[in-house]
Structures are given as C-alpha cells and as structure tokens.
Amino acid sequence: MPAPGAPTAGGSAHPGRADYRLSPALAARLVGLLLLVLAVVLFAMTAVVAVLDLTPDLLVLVAALGLIGVFGTGYLLTRRAYVVRFDDEGYRVRLVRGAGVDAARWKDVEDAGTSAPRGVPAVVLTLKDGRTTTIPVAALAADRDAFVRDLQGWLQRGQGLRPL
C-alpha cells in the first residue's frame, strides 16, 4: 500500500495531502454543457446584431471570448480543481452534489464502507455523530481500488493507527 500522500492513479500528491481530480468523462460532459450555453448565447447575439444593425465583429468577439472561457474552464476542471482532498487533518469533498458532509477530521470518522446508491458505486464515510459523506468513485479520475486503499491509509494514519 502506498504511503499516505504518495501519488496514486488519478490523485496528485503534495507533502501531507492527496488530491483526486474530476473524471475526464464528467469534465467532458460539463464542457459540453458550456459549449451548448455558448451556442445559445451566440444565437441570441446574432439576433441582436441583426436587429440593431451592429457590426458582425461583435459576434466574433463574443465567440472568441466564449471559447477561451470554455477551454479555460475545461483546463481548470481537469488539471486544477479537485473533487476529494485528503490531508493529515481530514478530508474535503467538492463538486459533488448530495455528498452530505463536505469536510471532516479523520478522528470524527467512525466507519468507512462502500455502497451503490442509485446504482452508482460510492465510498461512504460515517461520522461519529451519524452524518455521512458519500463519494461517488465514478466522479474521480482514479482507479476505484487504489482510491479505497489510499483512503484506508489516510484514515488509519489520521486515527493514530499503525500497520501491524
């Protein structure tokens, strides 16, 4: 088992933390949605330019800025933004709707297990107060088994447990 903080498939490691990025498939869906929004904006701008007899260069400007925004967002989603972050203190979950508790300390975690709510494989962290965090592993750019092994290492270390 790699040491907590060691690079894992899909996880980027820094001393004392591991980040898990958004899966490429999910990032592609979000970028596709942004492209659809850009198309609607360009359609509306075309009507405005035609009705108000404005210069067509305005459409080129809006299209260029929109494409820069779409590709910039795609870059941020795939290279910079993380879905799950583990560090020495605990974990943090972002960009997942319905995850439950988005951050907690390792010492507050009572149980970790897997489930498949609505048919989606997920890791469920149950806190001592009964609240839960659900992390759908399909949303991560990481191997499911490697993610679970890394989570186990962080959880054991965070609770002060040492391997036998």
Is the pLDDT reported for residue 7 higher than 80?
A: no
- The two tokens of residue 49 are 């330019």
Q: What pLDDT score was predicted for residue 49?
A: 96
Please name the residue ranges forming H helices in the chain: 24-52, 57-75, 144-158
Is the pLDDT reported for residue 14 higher than 60?
A: no
**pTM above 0.85?**
no
Q: Could you tell me the CA-to-CA distances from 78 to 10, 26, 48, 63, 66 in Å, in that order? A: 10, 10, 34, 22, 18
Q: What pLDDT score was predicted for residue 118?
A: 85
Q: Mean pLDDT over residues 65-83, rounded?
A: 94
Portion of the chain with pLDDT greater than 70, in percent? 89
Q: What pLDDT score was predicted for residue 159?
A: 82
Q: Say how many Å lie between the first and final Cα of the chain, rounded.
A: 13
**Which residue reads 């899909």 in tokens?**
10
pLDDT in tens, 94-142: 988 889 999 999 999 999 999 988 888 999 999 999 999 999 999 999 9
Determine the Cα–Cα distance for residues 80 and 101; give it in Å rounded to an integer. Answer: 22
Is residue 20 within 8 A of residue 82, CB to CB? The reply is yes
Residue 75: which pLDDT band, with cuts at 50, 70 and 90? very high
